[in-house]
Amino acid sequence: MSFDRRQLSQNDFDLLAAGHQRYVEGRAGGRRMSIKFMDLSGLDLSGRMLDDADLSGSALINTRMQGASLERALLFGCDLRGANMTGARLKRADLRGCCLRGANLSDADLTQADFREGVIAIPHPTKGLSAMKREARKGDAEGARFSGATLDGSNFDGVTAAKADFSDCSMRGARLTGANLKEADLSGAMLEDAEVGGANLSGARLIGAVLTNVSMETAKLDRTDMTGSLRAPSATAKMRAESLYQMALDANAWAESGGVLGEPAVFDGEDLRPIGARLRYARLDNADLTDAVLDDADLSGASLIK
């Protein structure tokens, strides 16, 4: 069902935004922004303070929102196609049922944002708000750019994000269950503890991604490029933990005895994560760490003199 949204002018928006900022700051004359089912397409919202604002069901096509603060904002069912939200702050924003096709959310903070399907009440084309129809809308982020964004704890369950750019994103604990990530770019993404069960990752790029504590058993992985990705320590790495730790002790003895006892450590290509917490203050002078995995290793106070 289609309906006509009332176009909001830049001047009218500026007045509402000023009142909302007073509301956020607790100043006299403040009023929370609530502009549902309006057309804000093409307006300039960049740098605005819009925390907790309600823009549900509104059109924000090609809207400029760089650096805006929209924490906990209600963007439920909004049309954000082509919107520029670079560097925006959207912590815990409600983006359920949104269309983000072609939107730019690079370097945005989307911690715990919700992108799932939403059921939106659509005004009747002639009777308006007096006769509403409920319509389920899937989250759609196809071709959207999230590069460098923070998406820790965000929820993309069931969302369509084919060919989206998630490169270098922080996505710790993100939910991507059943999401369509076909041909998406997740290169360099931090996906530790993320849930990807049933996700379509066909043709996706996960080059150099961190996938520790991520179960991919039920994900679709046809032609998925996981070159250089970091998974949980293998059984072999865990079995070698004690011998590697002994190697670190021998290196410590070598450094402290001036080369009389022990020998420098050779950790070439080794996964040191199983002993990472035991390397504090270690003397690893002249150690060979070529291609060693040191993620989460605690080297505070350690000596690595060559």
Q: What is the mean pLDDT of the chain?
A: 92
Tokens encoding 249: 């002790």
Centre a 10 Å sphere on the Cβ of residue 199 and count the other Cβ atoms it contains: 28
Bridge partners, 185 (sequence order): 165, 205
The confidence score (pLDDT) of residue 103 equals 98
The mean pLDDT of 122-148, rounded to a whole number, is 76
Phi first, then psi, for residue 247 (nearest 5°) are -65, -40
Centre a 10 Å sphere on the Cβ of residue 289 and count the other Cβ atoms it contains: 16
Strands (E), the chain: 6-7, 38-39, 118-124, 128-137
> Which is nearest to 247 in space by CA: 274, 218, 209?
274
The pLDDT > 90 percentage for the chain reads: 78
| pLDDT band for position 132 (cuts 50, 70, 90) | low
The confidence score (pLDDT) of residue 121 equals 67
The number of C-alpha atoms within 13 Å of 214 and in the hemisphere containing its C-beta is 26
The residue that leads in pLDDT, 111 or 136, is 111
| pLDDT band for position 265 (cuts 50, 70, 90) | very high
Tokens encoding 185: 């770019």
Strands (E), 157-293: none
The confidence score (pLDDT) of residue 5 equals 83
The confidence score (pLDDT) of residue 1 equals 41
- 8 A C-beta contact, residue 88 and residue 107: no
pLDDT digits (tens, 9 = 90+) for 190-226: 999 999 999 999 999 999 999 988 999 999 999 999 9
| pLDDT band for position 125 (cuts 50, 70, 90) | low
The mean pLDDT of 91-113, rounded to a whole number, is 98
Non-local CB neighbours of 155 within 8 Å, separated by 6+ positions? 112, 113, 114, 115, 116, 174, 175
- 8 A C-beta contact, residue 90 and residue 110: yes
Non-local CB neighbours of 159 within 8 Å, separated by 6+ positions? 115, 116, 117, 138, 139, 140, 141, 176, 179, 180
Q: Is the pLDDT of residue 74 over 90?
A: yes
Q: Is the pLDDT of residue 85 over 50?
A: yes
Cα 281 from Cα 278, distance rounded (Å): 9
Cα 81 from Cα 120, distance rounded (Å): 18
Q: Is the pLDDT of residue 295 over 80?
A: no
Highest mean pLDDT among 116-130, 135-149, 156-170: 156-170
Lowest mean pLDDT: which of 63-72, 110-119, 173-182?
A: 110-119
Q: Is the pLDDT of residue 97 over 60?
A: yes
The confidence score (pLDDT) of residue 46 equals 98
The confidence score (pLDDT) of residue 102 equals 96
